[in-house]
Amino acid sequence: MKSILSKTILSLLLMVTVAAPTQASVSYSSAEKLVRQAESYAGSLKWAISIEGTGDGKSIPWKYYNGTKDTYKKAKAAVSQLPKGFKKSELEKRLEEKVNLYISTQPGKVGRAVAYIDAINAGKKIENAKLALINRLDAGLIDDETERLYHNLSWELKKQSFLLDRVYGQTTRDLIRQNFKRSAENVKQQALYPVSIKMALDKTEGYIDHNQLYEASNMLFESKSLFVSGEKLGLLDPSSTVALVLQNRYSQYETKVNKLSQELLEIESVFVQHATGGTSLRTSPNHYVNIGLIDAHPLKELSIRHSDIAAKTEVSVTRTINGEQMTEELATVSNEKYVNVDLSNSLFNLPDPRLKETNGFEGILYTFTIKVTNQLGQVQTATSHLQIGPYEYGVGFHSGTFISDFGYSVFVPANYKSYQYDNNQSITLFRNEACLIDDPIEGTLMCDPSGEITIKVLDGTTEVSEWEKKALIEHGQPVQDVAQSILSNEKYHVFTHTSSKSTYLYELVAEIDGHLIKINYQADRNSEYVLSELAEIMKSIKF
């Protein structure tokens, strides 16, 4: 019993002896000393991350940062073991306000040194992206890899800017921005025009490969505009290797576009001027335009517009009356895009509409043959038919619902007739100039202006904006937006007025039953009732 009691007392004495040193190691004085050490390191760190101290905005003061972290950790552990009270709270406050202020990694409360270090690391990523692009440009390389590096630099600038902008202190923040962001932005600006021109030329090449002349020409023009503006703004040195490489590529595509323009040379329009104005003709072997005698007397001029300069344009006409034909060569013109042919010769003298021939007269058919030779020596021939006679209102026209090869139907009211293009790419609903002869002896006529619609389903390979751009420069006339829509889901709607021909030309693109539709329509003299009938046709389109 005595032995057991002795052992118990010995054990208690040992416990007291062991516990006593632990209590002594976390005394207030020792904890306060550790706090002062942490504050000392934090003070050095404060000046090491500031331009007003030893900070240079490029290097990271790891010695002071790691020292501050280590001493903070030890001081915090010591303070946590102190008994609750004013002194413990005071030490905790000092650690938080003078040490953790710089090294905190808590989201939303990032320490000033942590923000500084993050900014330097972010800046180095921007710097690496900048140097990669500079090296590429300095080597005179402007290719897909250069374009990728340009976009990578843009991405890094956008991605890392947040880290650069959260550095504490305006002067230090500005220094880091100057070291990394501004210099990278200067390089990006230096690469802007070369890369933009390269991208435009890439698109030009794609359009050329797919024989898309209009798009290729526009993109080539955009490339040229970038050359001019880049040089004007001092952002493109025309003597630099990169600029010379791009200029050489531009010249190659310019040659290809010019060749393609000749290969795809076509007759864009044929227009005949007569006594009361003018009439557009089609270049189609099966398309006949009918006009009344009074309107046609006399025919004045045939105007032809090519898509490009033709090496030679030869125009002849064959006149057919009661089965009898007579042919005459009208003109041969070299190196012209626009050709005007005088029609004021004897072959075009028409019967006086007051004479008895108007009663039952079958009319006159003029077939214009246009032979075009392009700059490559390739020849194409087109024909346009103009039929003149005493046509009564509505003769030869009919109404009904027409169904196209593309699955949509159009309801056509009276006095219209349906035609289809030779290439089966669109349907044209056309009303010719129709006249009612009130008095054949006196020759008085009442004529309706013509209305014409072309409907085409777009395949979606060309952006609507490209169609709109083309519409806005069509015909070389001032073009305006149409204020009032006809269809509910119009993408755009524009028109131009050719005052010399008294013709109003319209174009709109709309989405109908999930299909993108392009509609071109025109009305001579802009008659309101013709436009209203055309609008009703458009509204009837269904799939």
DSSP string for 127-168:
HHHHHHHHHHHHTT--SHHHHHHHHHHHHHHHHHHHHHHT-S
DSSP H helix total and E strand total for the chain: 14, 19
Task: Supply the pTM of this predicted model.
Answer: 0.56
Nearest to 188, CA basis, from 239, 154, 226, 228: 154
C-alpha separations of 373 from 263, 308, 316, 382 in Å? 10, 11, 15, 12
Q: What pLDDT does residue 495 have? A: 80
As a whole number of angstroms, the distance between CA 538 and CA 409 comes to 10
Do 451 and 520 form a contact (C-beta atoms < 8 A)? no
CA angle in degrees (0–180, nearest 5) for 422-424-428:
80
Residue carrying structure tokens 């023009």: 221
CB-based contacts of 95, cutoff 8 Å, min separation 6: 35, 38, 72, 75, 76, 79
Tell me the angle at which helices 112-138 and 62-80 cross, rounded to the nearest 10 degrees.
160
pLDDT in tens, the chain (543 residues): 444 444 444 444 444 444 434 444 578 999 999 999 999 999 999 999 998 999 888 899 999 999 999 999 999 999 999 999 999 999 999 999 999 999 999 988 999 999 999 999 999 999 999 999 999 999 999 999 999 999 999 999 999 988 988 999 999 999 999 899 999 999 999 999 999 999 999 999 999 999 998 899 999 999 999 999 999 999 999 999 999 999 999 999 999 999 998 988 889 889 988 766 788 888 877 677 777 655 566 778 899 999 899 999 999 999 887 778 889 899 999 999 999 998 877 566 554 443 333 344 456 788 999 999 998 899 999 999 887 765 433 333 333 444 443 444 454 443 333 333 333 333 333 333 333 333 333 323 333 444 566 677 776 666 788 888 777 766 555 677 777 788 888 888 888 776 555 677 788 888 888 888 888 777 665 556 566 666 777 777 776
Q: What pLDDT does residue 449 have? A: 41
Count of C-beta atoms within a 10 Å radius of residue 355: 13
Q: What pLDDT does residue 428 have? A: 37
Q: What's the first-to-final CA gap in the chain, in angstroms?
A: 110
Q: What pLDDT does residue 440 have? A: 30
- The two structure tokens encoding residue 173: 């923040």
- Ranges of beta strands (E only) in 26-135 are 105-106, 109-110
Do 435 and 393 form a contact (C-beta atoms < 8 A)? yes
Q: What pLDDT does residue 490 have? A: 87
